Chain A
């Protein structure tokens, strides 16, 4: 029997986490510039304006925030496990930067590609996924070449990739025309404010399926913690598993960045909180990170849009305000 040691059982913890997630989704749906009553909407007593605000603005925005939060948190958990590095975060190690470069390239160059307009909702996510895939792949090749990465090395290589991405983004800003520059700057501020069903749904589907497949890899990811040789000895097809992990976490980050810009630290903070409270095995870690990441992002977005009504602060500002001090504390604990 697994020992519970008089602690709260893990089922109860998950129920609690699910409760927090649902509560944050419900409060984010109701609170805002136009307060909404879900009861009225369900009963059909809501005004036409309220209904439009709910279905065209509030609901897609909350859904997108929840999915991006879950996706970034799971990607963070996977990248930390994959590089066996507690300080890995998609933003810090350059994966989000790569995705941003891909997305910016598409904003500026997309019009000259003359793609059919039916592809329009997909081009930016695909470019962003490609960008994050390049960075994750390059990080992986670095780690293969140098054997085992030291904890600090991943962060240093990440600084270099982030710098390269900002060079690329700078070049695109320089060559873009006024209209492109405007949408580029709006996009880079990082916000869920432009969520529409049309553009959100493909990315949401991509993120949800990537997270679902990642959860099925949790056993292999656990075994990889012992080392690659050891994982192989325990029956893991190491090469295929690593390829899948790189690809799927790139989809999580790329699709998230494409719809919402760079939102930092969620992928760092959430998995650590889940490790402290629920455990380090990757199945509970990923499920817990998805729920906690979704809840945190929904609440951060709620805060971002109500704290200075009628204006909005970028949601990335809120997550960084929470995440940066946490990162400092984590450094003192990990001593890289």
Chain B
């Protein structure tokens, strides 16, 4: 059971954004995708979410082609966090988080509130629930959307159906403490709730510390994949980023830096 990309190609106009990419997101682990700006990471995530039309290949969730599923069936199996902020009206934080209540089975108001309050605490936005989303800082807004996605995958579902959480740079606006909070939460989701997490990040140190499986993308192609020590090497990273990258391994912790 996994969320898979099989030889996915996506052309926009005459340009190939994703070129024959194959990737597997297993339940219960964090699959990390890194690569330079413009490599096609977000477009590949769009394909795995079922939103983008594919020029070639296919995307499967638990063996079923995503194009065979309705938006409503899909939303009970995966949540997606993008890097966007489109709200123009004064929705409260609570309103926004409640949009994640897409659960397959009826839940009582008490059950819903319990899930929301618990996750809002974990995302450290519980004190903001009655605030207007428009008055929050960028980092706070990002954690609200993160919380909304967690509510979506942790709801009342058929427990046999595996759930996936796809995130496009979920910590881009977070300070170092909240960055750590978000990634620890993702680790907890993967190990304790058996959720398959797909994570696009730029911070290679965080990626190396929290990831279980690694993919590196450049110019639309997946150029390396596997476990940390096979993928996050000086040679591969230096050639992918076209910058001299140093790695240090001390007592099984990997440090990656450019100076």
A interface residues, Cβ below 8 angstroms from B: 1-3, 5, 81, 84-86, 148, 151, 222-223, 225-227, 229-230, 232-238, 275, 279-281
Contacts and interface: CB of A to CB of B under 8 A. Distances in A.
A245 to B, nearest CB: 16
A275 B100 contact: no
B88 interface: yes
Interface of B: 46, 49-51, 70-72, 74-76, 78-80, 82, 84, 86-91, 94-96, 99-100, 102, 109, 113, 129-130, 145, 152
Contacts of B91: 222, 225, 280-281
A86 B89 CA distance: 8
A2 B94 contact: yes
Nearest to B113: A1
A235 B51 contact: no
Given A3-B129, A233-B80, A280-B91, A226 B86 contact: yes
B75 A86 contact: no
B95 A281 contact: yes
Contacts of B129: 3
Contacts of A232: 50-51, 71
B130 A236 contact: no
A135 B11 CA distance: 32
A104 B84 CA distance: 44
Contact of B99 (A2, A3, A223): A223
A234 B99 contact: yes
B11 to A, nearest CB: 19
Given A234-B152, A235-B102, A226 B71 contact: no
Contact of B82 (A81, A84, A230, A235): A230
B100 A234 contact: yes
B54 to A, nearest CB: 15
A232 B84 CA distance: 14
Given A233-B82, A235-B71, A281-B95, 4 more contacts: A3-B94, A86-B88, A226-B87, A232-B71
A222 B74 CA distance: 19
A281 B92 CA distance: 9
A237 B74 CA distance: 11
B102 A234 contact: yes
B53 to A, nearest CB: 12
B86 A227 contact: yes
A129 to B, nearest CB: 27
B130 A3 contact: yes
B99 A226 contact: yes
Contact of A233 (B79, B90, B94, B95): B79
B88 A229 contact: no
A5 B130 contact: yes
Contacts of B74: 233, 235
9 contacts: A151-B88, A222-B99, A226-B86, A226-B96, A226-B99, A230-B84, A235-B76, A237-B70, A281-B91
Contact of B84 (A81, A86, A227, A275): A227
Contacts of B130: 3, 5
A237 B70 CA distance: 8
B88 A84 contact: yes
Contact of A275 (B90, B102, B113, B145): B90
